[in-house]
Structure 1
Amino acid sequence: MTGLCSGRVTVVTGAGRGLGRAHALAFAAEGAKVVVNDLGVGVDGTGGAAGPAHEVVEEIRARGGEAVAHGGDIATADGAASLVATAVGAFGRLDTLVNNAGFLRDRMLVNLDEDDWDAVVRVHLKGHFLPLKYAAAHWRAEAKAGRAPEARVISTSSGAGLLGSVGQGNYSAAKAGIVGLTLVAAAELGGYGVQVNAIAPAARTRMTEQTFADTMAAPGPGGFDAMAPENVSPLVVWLGSAASAGVTGRVFETEGGRITVMEGWRPGPTADRGARWSPAEAGEAARKLLADAVPPQPVYGAR
């Protein structure tokens, strides 16, 4: 390894398993000191155990790295505040926040309970907002004290948040919200030395084992396992390092050996008559514009 993150302190939420675990190990391998956050819940967010976070900490230490566990609920103010305090208390600083924690409660919209909506939006969207809020407050204070940080935030969206996914209305809405939050945070925090980006990863984890059931068999040519979560982590580590200077407010899709810069909403065909349209005229104009527009990509799972 190159020591890309030597001297930096990184917090990773949801780091007990899957993508979060891969990120934590990858940051440690590049010299970062890591706070491993995880509640140890099931794939649907129920239950909880301290074991997964401590197991990852022990893995990092066994490889010669430094890490501490944090078992707080980052979708609460107390849990998010203590997450930042743990990094500063254990290692004296905070440089990178990787928001990754989440779970699924998939249902078609007509069968989606209010509790399942609230739970998924809470852990994904609120669980991004609160750690970001408290980390940003810390970095703002550092900047005002004359200690300008080279701080980094990596948010975790999804293809479901960019395109939508049938049966995942709650998850898709939360992941789309994370993109909006990322763009606002990048604009608001840049003056304090904070860069904020998002990834939309695809990898084999507990949350995606059904989605990728057909691609979970043997590795491809050369033994490359395209769905391994470890494939996503190199980009996250780079985004979380000082080497990514100048990169902010971006969304990257990443899967296997592929990295794509997602370009988001941009103005397409436009009509302006300089006066109010009637409903019929607005409809006629809209149909003409749609005929000239690029068709949207299909929603995941749509027939």
Structure 2
Amino acid sequence: MTGTGICTGRVAAVTGAGRGLGRAHALALAAEGAQIVVNDLGVAPDGAGSSAGPAQQVADEIRARGGRAVAHTGDITTTDGAASLVATALDAFGRLDTLVNNAGFLRDRMLVNLDEDDWDAVIRVHLKGHFLPLRHAAAHWRAEAKAGRGPDARIINTSSGAGLLGSVGQGNYSAAKAGIIGLTLVAAAELARYGVQINALAPAARTRMTEQTFAGTMAAPAEGEFDAMAPENVSPLVVWLSSADSAGVTGRVFEAEAGRITVMEGWRPGPTADRKSRWTPAEAGKAARELLAAAGTPQPVYGAR
């Protein structure tokens, strides 16, 4: 495999790596010298079914290019599946340096049509599917740190513009992706002492998950033109965040699409009024109106009219 070798000697586990962004990340990490655990349950875009094929195909592709990879088809939304992801890395390669949490699927509905099963399934795969691998990887790295083998570990979580701004018809997905940002910030603060850096990425690319949401706006370009929505455009930032070169970068959220990288800046205090005593409802309302008039206009929710 070719590349600069920025991840040579490192071992990375990538969830949801059988297709789309996860596949692009796994191939890019391998091209830069990383050894890869390719996790994918092989489900349909709505989470139905399962197949070992996608994970195995990507692992085979990495090996065919001269890299090292193993397939993992466990369900990372279960304790056993998440624990076995870490165990697979240790058994196959003797270490784990990077976890890229990427697995997910969609069950889009307007809120009044969104049933409990669709809510639970999407929260489970995105939010719980980030927490459990993170928790088991962190436990391993904490044990390493306490044993005097200080890790230089990385976690890259996958959020979305829907988690930053909301997206009409994706209440479950938006809530899960917003939760991932909160999880990232807490994990970055808690795990720094063990040599673990955690960042979040809000990517935009043409994948199975976005082809319906952005139908007609993410078509492949003509031959020879830059494919702005190719998943591979997002992966270089993931590779860098996975590497030792990203030392000191933690608790941050990035947007990445096409040739653009943006550092996202979250909630910060805006206009404030403090009367040093209790407000009446009318006074609170008057103050709130004045503060809103002085505040910036929020970015619109995706899909809002």
**Category of TM-score, reference length = shorter chain:** over 0.9
Q: In 1, Cα distance between the equivalents of 2:211 and 2:113?
A: 22
Give 3-state SS (helix, strand or coil) of 2:216's partner. helix
Instruction: Report how far residue 77 of structure 1 moved.
Output: 0.4
Instruction: Report how far residue 210 of structure 1 moved.
Output: 1.8
1:81 aligns with 2:77: no
Instruction: Report how far residue 166 of structure 1 moved.
Output: 0.3
Whichever residue aligns with residue 238 of structure 1, its letter is W
Instruction: Report how far residue 215 of structure 1 moved.
Output: 2.8
Q: Corresponding residue for 2:100?
A: 98
Q: Corresponding residue for 1:9?
A: 11
Q: Corresponding residue for 1:66?
A: 68
Q: Corresponding residue for 2:164?
A: 162
Q: In 2, Cα distance between the equivalents of 1:182 and 1:96?
A: 15
Q: Corresponding residue for 1:47?
A: 49
Whichever residue aligns with residue 194 of structure 2, its letter is Y
Taking the TM superposition and a 5 Å limit, the aligned residue runs for 1:193-204 are 193-204=195-206
Give 3-state SS (helix, strand or coil) of 1:227's partner. coil
Say whether the 8 Å CA contact 1:215–1:227 is kept in structure 2: no
The correspondence for 1:259, drawn from 244, 257, 261, is: 261
- Judged with a 3 Å threshold, the aligned counterparts in structure 2 of structure 1 residues 218 and 105 are, in CA distance, closer, same or farther, namely closer
> Greater CA deviation, 143-152 or 208-217?
208-217
Taking the TM superposition and a 5 Å limit, the aligned residue runs for 1:61-210 are 61-210=63-212
Q: Deviations over 1:53-109 (max 9, x none)?
A: 000000000000000000000000000000000001110000000000000000000
Q: Corresponding residue for 2:225?
A: 223
Q: Deviations over 1:228-276 (max 9, x none)?
A: 0000000000000000000000000011000000001000000000000
Give 3-state SS (helix, strand or coil) of 1:136's partner. helix
Q: Corresponding residue for 1:36?
A: 38
1:296 aligns with 2:298: yes
Q: In 2, Cα distance between the equivalents of 1:217 and 1:67?
A: 31
Q: Corresponding residue for 1:271?
A: 273
Q: In 1, Cα distance between the equivalents of 2:13 and 2:257?
A: 22
Say whether the 8 Å CA contact 1:99–1:155 is kept in structure 2: yes
The correspondence for 1:287, drawn from 286, 289, 297, is: 289
Whichever residue aligns with residue 154 of structure 2, its letter is R
Q: Deviations over 1:96-138 (max 9, x none)?
A: 0000000000000000000000000000000000000000000
Q: Corresponding residue for 1:56?
A: 58
Q: Corresponding residue for 1:20?
A: 22
Whichever residue aligns with residue 204 of structure 2, its letter is A
Q: TM-score, normalised by structure 1?
A: 0.99
Whichever residue aligns with residue 241 of structure 1, its letter is S
Q: In 2, Cα distance between the equivalents of 1:115 and 1:171?
A: 13
Give 3-state SS (helix, strand or coil) of 2:300's partner. coil
- Structure 1 residue runs of 4+, over 6 Å off? none
Paired residues in the alignment total 303
Whichever residue aligns with residue 240 of structure 1, its letter is S
Say whether the 8 Å CA contact 1:220–1:226 is kept in structure 2: no
Give 3-state SS (helix, strand or coil) of 1:223's partner. coil
Structure 1 segments unaligned to the other structure (5+ residues): none
Q: In 1, Cα distance between the equivalents of 2:292 and 2:72?
A: 50
Instruction: Report how far residue 223 of structure 1 moved.
Output: 1.2
Instruction: Report how far residue 221 of structure 1 moved.
Output: 9.9
